[in-house]
Chains A and B, each alone.
Chain A
Amino acid sequence: MNRPYQAVLQRLLPWLVPLGLIAVWQISAQTGWLSSRVLPAPWDVLRAAAALATSGELWTHVQVSAGRALLGLAIGGGLGLLLGLLTGSVRTAETLLDSTIQMVRNIPALALIPLVILWFGIDEAAKLFLISVAVFFPIYLNTFHGIRNVDPGLIEMGRTYGLSRWGLYTRIILPGALSSILVGLRFSLGLMWVILIVAETISAQAGIGYLTMNAREFLQTDVVLVGILLYALLGKLADVFARALERWWLRWHPGYQRVAGGAA
């Protein structure tokens, strides 16, 4: 009879610590233990966010940042996908390109920053370049391995059942590589935000990074916190989106099918 009560408790329990922390934070800021220059009260952060949202400033910056990130992902990820498909499917392309790509892969994208500033200055192109370079490799590698790991038995079956080369590619090879490609996408999304934050912190005329760096100059710690939370929110959003893609495209896979009673 107290089973429903226990179930509710089980669901609420994980929230206890974060809510408690926020309460402690709010109280210590209100009583003055915590200087608002170090950490403004959560309520003040919310108010700052609301003010920025109503003035419309927030949305322009989010738009600029998200646009940058997605454009970089489209360029770098698109190239990674294309080259991965190429080297995965054509042996000559693999021998020609793969070892070069594997060598370049070892250079951390952030190590390129000085060079990128020399090449592109500090404007938009530099940020796009850094993001593109960073997201390229996870997608490339996972596409390549995804294609290489498609069950050869299925390809043989497709050939004996009269599929054309194109049919083999669209019906067997691409769907077979898809789960691996999506893993690459999720890796890339994680990297994409990290690189975006660094690139925007170096210099920007708009975007969340500009918002926070500007706020830092005016000692608006609450706005800085809003910026940090926005980055976290966007990162989470991208991850949710990637997982939704996985759930849809891999719905045939027992590992992605919703289990009755399991938490989504």
Chain B
Amino acid sequence: MKPHDLPTELVPAAGGVRLTLRALSKRFGPREVLRDNHLDIAPGEFVAIVGRSGCGKSTLLRLVAGLDSPSSGELLIDGTPVQGLRESTRIMFQDSRLLPWARVLDNVALGLPAAERERARDVLAQVGLGDRTGDWPARLSGGQRQRVALARALVHRPRLLLLDEPLGALDALTRIEMHALIEGLWQRHGFTALLVTHDVQEAVALADRVLLIEDGAIALDQRIALPRPRRQGDPAFAALEKTILDRVLQLPDAEPATPDASWPPAAAHALRWAI
């Protein structure tokens, strides 16, 4: 933010930040959306957060982005408590949120000093849209819009990139393309990435760690040690995906110790009728 901080931002591949949550909670009125979350993310790590809708995963991302402030607990970047929006953090939204009245290049250069506009062109080339700089966003497909949004986030050389279900509205083929693109750019730029998604396959394809949030708390922290680039047909990939998915859906074989507790409610109801 301060002028003398700027040069460090401009160093290419500034690397990722260490992100730490300490007893982070968030309440909206009487409703507790996140409760007492502890988390430590290493610099440059790619972490995916999965969970059912309404579990609090997007709220967590908004807290980390500085768009909302926690009700209690602390958020630390590289060991220092932070509040509010930061230069080093960029967020990519589910809807691309491009300015429809600005051409592609101007969208990417949004918030950049005039002297650095050329960099926007480079980043657009990196996401494969170097030839669309003069187009209106309305002329782009959904996948192209998300690539522009990705370029807009990366042009600021973020050290923490937050992705809020950025591929949720795209078709399956475009998603696979986008996975490769995001993975490649992440490896190249070295930022810390936090991806919120409801697609377990996407989480396993991209992340070093998959977190499951349930009822506002981190319920599972699964490390994904598969070599990159990952293949979706791979047996190890499929096994991990199934483990996490079963846990999300709370299928009985995910928790063999307490089968009764995880029976679907309909079954319990039917049982009572039988008696």
Contact = CB atoms under 8 A, between A and B. Distances in A.
Contact of B97 (A153, A162, A163, A250): A153
A254 B101 CA distance: 11
Contacts of A167: 111
Contacts of B89: 160
B111 A163 contact: yes
Contacts of A29: none
A74 B102 CA distance: 28
Contact of A161 (B95, B102, B136, B156): B156
Interface string A230-264: 00000000000000000000111110010000000
A175 B102 CA distance: 9
B235 to A, nearest CB: 40
Interface string B220-260: 00000000000000000000000000000000000000000
Given A252-B136, A252-B138, A158 B93 contact: no
Given A171-B110, A253-B138, A160 B101 contact: no
A157 B97 contact: yes
Contacts of A217: none
A167 B102 CA distance: 14
Contacts of A151: 97
A160 B136 CA distance: 22
Interface residues of A, number: 23
A161 B152 contact: yes
Interface string B149-180: 00010001000000000000000000000000
A252 B35 CA distance: 44
A94 B137 CA distance: 33
B110 A160 contact: no
Contacts of B110: 158, 161, 163, 171
Interface string B54-70: 00000000000111000
Given A167-B111, A253-B100, A157 B87 contact: no
Interface string B36-62: 000000000000000000000000000
Contacts of A171: 99, 102, 110
Contacts of B95: 153
B155 to A, nearest CB: 10
Given A153-B95, A252-B138, A254-B138, A161 B111 contact: yes
A254 B65 CA distance: 32
A89 to B, nearest CB: 18
A172 interface: yes
Interface in B54-107: 65-67, 85, 87, 89-91, 93, 95, 97, 99-103
Q: Which 6 A-B pairs have the closest CB atoms?
A: A157-B97, A161-B111, A175-B101, A162-B111, A252-B101, A252-B136
